[in-house]
Amino acid sequence: MAQLLQPLIEAGQCGVLMTCVDGKIRHVYPIVAAYIADHPEQCLIACCKENRCPRCLVHPNQWGNRLVYPLRSHIETRDILERQGQGKNPDGYEDQGLRPVYSPFWAHLPHTDIFACLSPDILHQLHKGVFKDHLVSWCTALIGEKELDNHFKAMSAYPDLRHFSKGISLVSQWTGKEQKEMQKVFLGIVAGAFDPRAVTAVRAMLDFIYYAQYQTHTETTLQLMQTAHDMFHEAKVIFIETGTRGQDHFNIPKLHSLVHYTQSIRSLGCLDGLNTESSERLHIDFAKKAYRASNRRDYYPQMTLWLQRQESVVRKDDYLEWLGHRGDTDKDDDDEETLIDEADNEIEDSENVRVELTDRENTRSFHALS
């Protein structure tokens, strides 16, 4: 990453001339605005342990509340890591849960606060994290796995709604699309099935998930999103009282990450474009298919060779397609030249006729004068 972003250091310090969409050339200073990653990679970028928040200084024992803690400082963290690398053992190193990455790639990027750049991850934090791994598990414990499957089976068929005819307990691996389909009907599935406070918690979390996916936000929608977050935290205690949580706290990293959503939307924009779901799709093409094409032994070289051949085939297809378009273009050019020649011939013939008529008129005038 340091090698990839090396040109941004000089460009951010001195600026570069760029042509904007309105056609005008402006002197701009490029920065890193947003970094999309899941929780382990965010902690790797923030140089902190995975039991810490990569954005703020909350203690792991306080993840379950909805308080907003001070954000990590770009300059302070860089200085602490430098002094730790020099063997000075600064106090903030252990307090902030940092790891021994003494020269992170973002240390010298100008105008860039890497901690403010870390964007929320809807796929891993909401769909797969809070909803599927926690909320659905708690509700299953409340109502029972068999009864929950019966509710899904009894759901009436309706256009654009998936009917889980066999329930959900038999599904071993959920995709983001399936989790979204489950969210559409989940509130109706659990309504009236257990304590109303648990239903309120489900509704609040579903509201929060849908607000987070808005393509346009206003202060009103952000306030409603924050209200849904607060409502969930007020009702979540039911899962501890009924024993479905299994522990007496909610110190869950992905649950704490929801605290930063409204702030991130205000600073980075709507989150529909800041999602790892698109990049996760590439795992199928570049990792899973390549692995399946190997013999499962010493698969790295085989995967690399398979990917290289796939890229060669794609490039050859693009080249052949380009040749086809080029042939069509040459044919069009020939047809155009033929039409131009025919038009020139028609003009030349008309000029000859006009000259011939003029000569005849001159001859008749000469004979009349004679």
- Residue 46 pLDDT class (50, 70, 90 cuts): very high
pLDDT above 90 as % of the chain: 37
Judged against a pLDDT cut of 70, whether residue 348 lies above it is answered with no
Judged against a pLDDT cut of 80, whether residue 96 lies above it is answered with yes
**pLDDT value of position 331:** 56
Interval 162-189 mean pLDDT: 84
**pLDDT value of position 171:** 76
Judged against a pLDDT cut of 80, whether residue 276 lies above it is answered with no
Q: Output 350 or 279, whichever has higher pLDDT.
A: 279
pLDDT in tens, 130-151: 999 899 999 999 988 899 889 9
CB of 265 within 8 A of CB of 221?
A: no
**pLDDT value of position 328:** 65
Interval 100-109 mean pLDDT: 89
Instruction: Kindly report the length of the chain.
Output: 370
pLDDT above 70 as % of the chain: 88
What pTM, to 2 d.p., does this model score? 0.77
Judged against a pLDDT cut of 70, whether residue 369 lies above it is answered with no
Task: Tokens for 101, please give them.
Answer: 């990455």
pLDDT in tens, 10-30: 888 889 999 988 999 999 988
Interval 260-289 mean pLDDT: 83
SS3 content of the chain, % helix, strand, coil (to 5): 60, 5, 35
Buried b (16+ CB within 10 A) or exposed e, 10-26: ebbeeeeeeeeeeeeee
Interval 321-330 mean pLDDT: 75
CB of 251 within 8 A of CB of 53?
A: no
Interval 181-191 mean pLDDT: 90
Find residue 16's DSSP bridge partners: 28
- Residue 346 pLDDT class (50, 70, 90 cuts): low
Average pLDDT, the chain: 85
